[in-house]
Amino acid sequence: MVTETFVGQLPALEMTISAGVHLFTDRWLEHCEKWWDATPQKLRFTSGGDTPTTVEAAYYLNRNGRIWKPASSPGPYLSVTLDAPAEIAPAAREAQWLEVGQALAVDMRDRGLAGSISLPPTITDMRPWQQAGFRIEVLYTYCVDLPYDETLMRPQVRRVIRKAEKSGFTCSRSRNMQEVYDCLAETQERQGFDLGVSAEDLVSAQRALGADKLRGYVAYSPEGEAVSATLEVHAPGRAAVGWLAGTKWEYLRTGVAQLLNRYVLEDLAAAGATSYDLAGANLPSVAYSKSQWGATVKPFYRIEGDGAVDVARHARKYWRFQRARS
Amino acid sequence: MTDQPSLAPDTEPVHPLARLREYSSRRWDHILRRVRFSDNGAELPYVEVDYFLDRSGKIGKPAINPGPYMRVLFEPTPTRSRSRRDRQWLALGGRLARDMWQRGLAKSLELPPQITDMRPWHWVGFRTEVLYTYCSDLPYDNKLMMSQIRRSIRKATEQGFTCARAQSLDEVVACLRDTEQRKHFDQHMSLNDLNVLQSALGEDTFRAYICYSSDGEPASASVDLLQPDGRAISWLAGTASAFVGTGAAQLLRYYVLQDLADASATSYDWGGANIPSVAAAKAQWGGTLSAFYRLEGDGLIDIARHVRRFFHFRRAMA
């Protein structure tokens, strides 16, 4: 028997977002409504059994009540956290998972998706969603245990870090979202994509989540200019997740981005993160650069949107695929 | 790096490629071709694949494919660096994916569970689907078994059922047929097919098993494949209608696991966990759920399937 508990809307209760980070501020609700016109809602499903399995999902619902992941919400995943008892037999554990997983998948189907939704790498069994009729796509990310084992790093990375140190670059946490944004914006322009985030978004998000959970990091040139920045989502005792990163053009070859990344790994480990998700490895150039840290490739799964637009995307992809071959 | 794949010599002792190749073209009208991708002929790293090519040269899958997966093997250099192994895979997997893209797929193809990183295929434009199977380490750990299985095995033993490697494939086919009829599907597997595959693959690889009742009647049968790398795969199984619910199928499975472990198999793939009722039965053995991936064919038929799924889904929501 599955019991469905509506844990309710914020701010009354704790909410989980991407990466399973716990957030429970009034401000987060305000932020969601103000920036995305979205209502966050948390659901929990509990299986039967003496030691039950629970699964919790934190949705963002759009005006039509469909589940949504705003592009500018922190981290790449919709939050789904699974709590399964370790002490029961694998087959019983799996049966409990299927019970709650199916309840969640059917709930998602009934509400509908406003676009595709990625689940965190901890959710590995997508059969409940397949059986509910969703199409699933596999994507990849790199994850590394913390504290970071520096022997995993490729010698090239070590060399450029040493070079950046010798040149006098320094790193620190930063609450100044404008200087963070300036670094991100240059990368955005250079690579011709839209982060979908403004400096004001970042200020509001950090105020809502708190600077310990949404952590900004900046590397400075010897002259004190902010030249490289990252934003990370963190909660002690859990996996931290990379969200956004950028480096100003003229500092690309200085090794400062790698220096900053190592600083981030050290700082997150000191703050109690158990592992770090480098967030995405699905573009060849990005994958090659992230693979240099010696992290493990992990699959995560994207539930494809159910709209006609998704069918159209599939058709378009087909034509491109055929044309490229001919 | 050479872009021309080299054909590997057909000298692998337990996988007599030549006989299978001959049978493949005669019976299935597919040419079996083994292709190896490496850097300028270096011994390691390499990626090796067995294609079944149809008449138009596209990569297909005969109706009677020996085993559920297309054979893909990746051997990295003996390195402890994850980053280096990752790059070797992305480079050689990328060449395999481009080669497959140029040839085209006649059908969707399933890759074995040890191929976990599908990015090389994504990057040339293939779509993939995730599927699941269970895998158990061998020798099998009895503690993983649920009590229902234990009870069934005890019951069958008490009633005098016994198991052995099959001497006659006639009896195996009879059991397979009964299950096909009961469950309304057809594996298109004739006695002749099984005989030829047994002789082509060799009895070390192609392993047929049978469970007899106390009267010596064939009650349940199984055909399993033991690959040279020590991975065993469940391929075909069936139980005679008169012996459903006797525990014969469970006793036979337990025998198969023991026999494969004795033959130095290191793992057992239960051959799929994607139909809820079948998955629930297999889950009772406590195997680890493992993902494997299907490359979607690039034909119009696949678009049609996607559109159909869309309408089914809408109807289910309404």
What number is the ipTM of this complex? 0.88
**Nearest beta carbon to residue A325 from set B101, B129, B313:** B101
**Nearest beta carbon to residue A109 from set B129, B310, B317:** B317
Is residue B306 predicted with pLDDT exceeding 70?
A: no
Is residue A145 predicted with pLDDT exceeding 70?
A: yes
B212: which residues sit within 8 A by CB, 6+ positions away?
B161, B162, B163, B164, B218, B219
> How many interchain CB pairs under 8 A, A with B?
118
Confidence of residue A25 (pLDDT cuts 50, 70, 90): low
Whether A114 has its CB under 8 Å from any CB of chain B: the answer is no
Is residue A80 predicted with pLDDT exceeding 50?
A: yes
Map residue A67 onto helix, strand or coil: strand
In angstroms, what CA-CA distances link B22 with A8, A95, B66? 65, 45, 14
pLDDT digits (tens, 9 = 90+) for B68-95: 899 999 999 999 999 999 999 999 999 9
Whether A249 has its CB under 8 Å from any CB of chain B: the answer is no
In angstroms, what CA-CA distances link A173 with A40, A63, A212, B227? 29, 36, 10, 53
| 8 Å CB contact of B144 and A308 | no
Q: What's the confidence (pLDDT) of residue A128?
A: 97
Q: What's the confidence (pLDDT) of residue A121?
A: 94
| 8 Å CB contact of B283 and A94 | yes
A224: which residues sit within 8 A by CB, 6+ positions away?
none
Q: Which residue of B has its CA nearest to A151?
A: B81
Confidence of residue A86 (pLDDT cuts 50, 70, 90): confident
Q: In what order do the strands lie in the sheet with B267-269?
A: B109-110, B288-295, B128-137, B267-269, B231-239, B218-226, B206-212, B162-165
Nearest C-alpha of chain A: how many angstroms from B232? 21
User: Could you tell me if B235 and B68 are in contact, meaning their C-beta atoms sit under 8 angstroms apart?
Assistant: yes
Contacts of A281 in chain B (CB under 8 A): 119
The overall pTM is greater than 0.90: no
Q: Could you tell me where the beta strands, DSSP code E, fall in chain A?
A: 3-9, 15-17, 21-23, 39-46, 54-61, 67-68, 79-83, 117-118, 136-145, 170-173, 214-220, 226-233, 239-247, 275-277, 296-303
Q: Best residue in A66, A88, A93, A94 to probe B by mutation, most B CBs within 10 Å?
A: A94
| 8 Å CB contact of A90 and B279 | no
Contacts of A136 in chain B (CB under 8 A): 129-130
| 8 Å CB contact of B83 and A154 | yes
pLDDT digits (tens, 9 = 90+) for B101-149: 999 999 899 999 999 999 999 999 898 999 999 999 999 999 999 999 9
User: Could you tell me if A251 and A229 are in contact, meaning their C-beta atoms sit under 8 angstroms apart?
Assistant: no
Q: What's the confidence (pLDDT) of residue B208?
A: 97
Contacts of A284 in chain B (CB under 8 A): 90, 123
Give the number of C-alpha atoms closer than 13 A to the C-alpha of residue B140, restricted to the C-beta side. 23
**Cβ under 8 Å to B: A residues 119-138:** 124-127, 130-138
Give the number of C-alpha atoms closer than 13 A to the C-alpha of residue A117, restricted to the C-beta side. 27
Confidence of residue A14 (pLDDT cuts 50, 70, 90): very low
Q: Best residue in A311, A319, A326 to probe B by mutation, most B CBs within 10 Å?
A: A311
Q: What's the confidence (pLDDT) of residue A8?
A: 35
Confidence of residue A176 (pLDDT cuts 50, 70, 90): very high
Confidence of residue A323 (pLDDT cuts 50, 70, 90): low
